[in-house]
Amino acid sequence: MKSLKSILTLSFLFLTAISSFVCSDGLELKDFKEDVVKTVVVSPNGAANFKTIQDAIDYIPSGNKNWIKIILSPGIYNEKIVIPKEKQKIIMQGNNASEVIIQYNNDAGLSNASAVIVDAEYFAAINITFKNANCSKSTPIIPKEEVKVAPSIILMADKAWFYGCNFISVQDTLADKVGRHYFKNCYIEGAIDFIWGSGQSIYQNCVIHVRGLTSKGGEMLTGFITAQGRESEQDKSGFVFKNCVINGNGMASLGRAYRGYSRVLFYKTNMSNVIVAQGWDAWKHKGHEDKITYAEVKCTGEGANKEKRVKWEKNLPPKEIKFLIDPKTFIDEDGWMGSLPSSLVSLL
């Protein structure tokens, strides 16, 4: 047994060394060597350090204080992944989001129904598709009675960063529940409340795709892009969409108020005609619209026509707009984004 253990250890070290030559979408591992202390490789066919992503996560020591990189080889990873709070400073990277897919079929409720649950701070993902296979049919139009709560990822921790990732489901696709998060060059697809939670997040240069939703009789129904959960004037949370694109084959409101002080800003976003004329919905908070902060600034496209928008949509002062769209003031006041590995910082 001792001999076998030695062989396995040597094999692990060899594969780790080989992994330093892996490249992905313009980001090479040599770019990370000053910041990342260890790199491991996962492959669903077993030709790597680990066969499953969860095995790689479990390998990382509790209380980890150094950046560890997990390279995901191309393939479909059919597994449920949980990153516990004691496993901080993890980077998961694929070579191309269309070739690296983490998926799981689960509709077990908002707290658990997801392919990936992130409970740890300082998490980064690059070029990965997160998909909940439950009711994520390839057909563009989905009957509403078939739709279930099925997030692709649940973010339960502060300080998470995503670049070039896809998030695919129908209802509650991206559970941006707690903490400060930054999404850049990402693709988010769904029909009902598909970006939701009490997160304090900026979505920059992202594509938001609205899927079609129909009644039993085949009538096209209106969905909702956001359901943000800010709960008071002191609550710092909110969703900011900056230089994004909204398209799709369905119809949707820009958002409905998940909590009474919901806050969402679309800034310089191109909106196709999938956006309904009224734009926003107070949902359970009708009569208290003055506490909701929904705004659009310098948006373009057919769906950005504000002539028939709800009367209570806010006209924010320039100072507040500047505060919300700048990562340094809205989500990075303590400088956590600067502590990311240098090549990640260069992509901000």
CA 212 – CA 87 distance, rounded (Å)? 38
The rounded distance, in Å, linking the Cα atoms of 209 and 189 is 5
Number of H helices, E strands in the chain: 5, 30
Contact between residue 51 and residue 29 where contact means Cβ atoms under 8 Å apart = no
CA nearest to 162, candidates 109, 194, 116, 209: 116
Write the single-letter amino acid at 131. Answer: K
Q: Which of 193, 235, 326, 334 is catalytic?
A: 193
Take residue 317 and report the two structure tokens written for it.
Answer: 């002062």
User: Long-range contacts for 82-86 (Cβ within 8 Å, ≥24 apart)?
Assistant: 82/54, 82/57, 82/116, 82/117, 82/119, 83/57, 83/116, 83/117, 83/118, 83/119, 83/120, 83/123, 84/119, 84/120, 85/119, 85/120, 85/121, 85/157, 86/62, 86/120
Task: Give the whole-angstrom CA distance, residue 248 versus residue 309.
Answer: 20
Per the annotation, the verdict on 193 as an active-site residue is: yes
Query: Is residue 58 flagged as an active site residue?
Result: no
Q: Which of 172, 281, 290, 326 is catalytic?
A: 172
Q: Name which of 204, 250, 260 is nearest 228 in CA terms.
A: 260
- Name the residue among 310, 323, 338 with its Cα closest to residue 240: 323
Of 51, 118, 115, 114, nearest to 91 by C-alpha is: 118
First vs last C-alpha separation in the chain: 48
Q: Phi first, then psi: what are they for 94, rounded to 5°? A: -110, 170
Radius of gyration over every alpha carbon of the chain, rounded to an integer in angstroms: 21
Residues with catalytic annotation?
Answer: 172, 193
